[in-house]
Amino acid sequence: MNSSLPKVLHAIQGSSMLQHVLNTLQKIGPQKIVVVVGKNARDVRRSIKNTGAVSFAVQKDAIGTGDALSKALPSLRGLKETIVVVNGDTPLVSPETIRKFLVLHKKKRNDLSLLSFTAGNPGSYGRIIRNEKGGVLSVIEDRDATTAQKSITEVNSGVYAIEPGVLRMLKEIKLNASKGEYYLTDIVRLAKDRGMKVDAFMIGSEEEFLGVNTLRELEKARELMKKRVVEKWLGKGVYFIDEHSVFLSSDAEIGRGTTIYPNVHIEGDTRLGKGCTIYPNVRIRDSVIGDGAVIRDSTVIENAVVKNRASVGPFAHVRPGSEIGPGAKIGNFVEIKKSVIGSRTKASHLSYIGDAKIGRDVNIGAGTITCNYDGCKKHVTAIEDGVFIGSDSQLIAPVSVGKGAYVGAGSTITRDVPAKALALSRTEQKNVEGWALNRRLKVKSEKVRVKGSKKHKQ
Q: Where are the beta strands (DSSP E) in 203-341?
A: 239-240, 247-248, 253-254, 259-260, 265-267, 271-272, 277-278, 283-285, 288-289, 294-295, 300-302, 305-306, 311-312, 317-318, 323-324, 329-337, 340-341
Q: Which of 86, 156, 161 is nearest to 127 (CA)?
A: 156
What backbone torsions phi and psi does residue 389 show, to the nearest 5 degrees? Answer: -105, 115
**175: Cα within 13 Å, side-chain hemisphere:** 6
Bridge pairing between strands 381-383 and 356-358: parallel
Q: Which of 413, 320, 276 is nearest to 335 (CA)?
A: 320
Secondary structure of residue 250 in the 3-state scheme: coil
* Residue 29 zone, left/alpha/beta (φ > 0; ψ -120 to 50; rest): left
Secondary structure of residue 67 in the 3-state scheme: helix
Distance CA 249, CA 272 (A): 12
For residue 56, the surrounding DSSP H or E stretch is strand 54-58
Distance CA 29, CA 53 (A): 10
Distance CA 101, CA 116 (A): 10
| Contact criterion met (CB below 8 Å) for 101 and 201 | yes
Q: Report CA 189 to chain centroid distance, whole Å.
A: 42
Residues found in the chain: 458
Secondary structure of residue 60 in the 3-state scheme: coil
Distance CA 276, CA 330 (A): 16
List the Cα angle 339/343/348 in 5-degree steps.
70
Q: Radius of gyration (Cα) for the chain, nearest Å?
A: 33
Bridge pairing between strands 265-267 and 388-389: unpaired
| Contact criterion met (CB below 8 Å) for 245 and 262 | yes
Q: How crowded is residue 212: how many other Cβ atoms within 10 Å of its Cβ?
A: 24
- The single residue of 244, 317, 349, 456 carrying the catalytic annotation is 349
Is 349 catalytic? The answer is yes
Task: Show which residues are catalytic.
Answer: 349
